Amino acid sequence: MARTKSNRRQQLEHVALVPVDWLEERSGFVGAIKYFLFRKVPHDTNWFHTLGSATLTAFIVQTVTGVILAFYYKPSPNEAYDSIQMITNDLTLGWLVRGMHRWGASVFIILLFLHMGRVFLFGAYKYPRELNWLLGVLLLVLAMLEGFTGYLLPWDQTAYWATVVGINLNATAPFLGPFIADFLRGGQEIGTNTLSIFYSMHMLLIPGGLIALITLHVYLVIRLGVSSPPWSSDPAGMERTEVVTAKRGLVEPRPRGNGAAADEVVRRQPEP
């Protein structure tokens, strides 16, 4: 009995594994995913460490709902308000998707700040993760720009005048301010171009930047590991090391005396 079950299980596993092996042999994706999912983390990570993935989830929700909203939204001054009304009142479940996008935007920003607070209070921005903090700051700026550009799109009185004030705030910046304002408006006054400029930035330009930066951000998290809480007995990060690459010419690395590979990480010899 047990033997037949074992045989059947073997057959099943074989059927399941053949396509996985096929994929792994040609791409290495399976190993990469395993490496990502089963990498080591400090033993006392806690719920605060989930804020980063929560922010990422909020961003994914914004992306998906935003793409669906773009099916029906019309970014022209004469049609924008009516198309929003249609999405909200006429289309099946349109109110839900618009609501998810509308409230999810706030959730995204709130989670960003909570995640940033966690990183700050845990000291997780310190060596070797300074670069990831900087990427996070850029992500925060882009997320705020998403909020600013998205706010105009409903094209109602609140959206219009909030954007008038927001753009004019930019105009008061010294030296470049008036130029930034003209660029954002597509002219000296909010007009026919402003809405499509904001739509394009909200839909294409800034999300592209966000996705690229999020990729780098997560890559660095995987490379550097999750930091342990300040009270942990685990080390917070790697030991301090010296990277050889920076000391070599970038164009054509040459082997040094000990023949170390170009990207090898070696420890500095203690001073005598």
Partner 1 sequence: MADELERPEETSETHEHEDPGAHLPPPTIWPFAFAGAVALILVGLIVSTWAAVVGIVLAVIFGFLWIRDVTRDVRAAPEPEPVVAPPPLTVEEGEVGEPERYPRSKFLEGATLGLGAVIGGIVTVPALGFAVAPAFVGQEDPDVDLGPMDSYPEGEWRITTFTADPEKGDVTRRTAYIRYNGLLNEVPSYTIISNRCVHLGCPTQPQGPPGEEQTVETSVAPVTLIPTQPSGFGCPCHGGAYDTEGNRTAGPPVRALDRYEYSIINGSLWLGELYSVGEVEGEGADAVAVRYPATDPGVHVDGFEQVLYPITP
Q: Of all helices (H) and strands (E), which one includes residue 265?
A: strand 265-266
Q: Can you tell me which of 24, 79, 156, 182 binds partner 1, judged by CB under 8 A?
A: 182
Q: Can you tell me which of 27, 179, 211, 223 binds partner 1, judged by CB under 8 A?
A: 179
Question: Which amino acid does the sequence have at 36?
Answer: F
Residues near 229 by Cβ (< 8 Å), separated by ≥ 6? 42, 44, 45, 46, 48, 122
CB-wise, 81 or 95, nearer to partner 1?
A: 81
Q: Can you tell me which of 71, 113, 183, 219 binds partner 1, judged by CB under 8 A?
A: 183
Residues near 191 by Cβ (< 8 Å), separated by ≥ 6? 77, 185
With CB under 8 A as the rule, give the number of residues binding partner 1.
49
Site string for partner 1, 209-248 (x = CB under 8 A): ------------------------------xx-x-x-xx-
> What is the closest distance, in whole angstroms, from the C-beta atom of residue 212 to partner 1 in the complex?
17
H, E, C per residue of 132-164: HHHHHHHHHHHHHHHHHHHHHCCCCHHHHHHHH
Angle (nearest 5°) at CA 148 between 178 and 53: 135
Q: Give the separation between CA 198 and CA 77, rounded to whole angstroms.
A: 12
Site string for partner 1, 48-77 (x = CB under 8 A): -----------------------------x
Name the residues that contact partner 1, by CB under 8 A.
Answer: 77-78, 161, 164-165, 167-169, 171-172, 174-175, 177-179, 181-183, 185-193, 239-240, 242, 244, 246-247, 249-252, 256-258, 260, 264-271
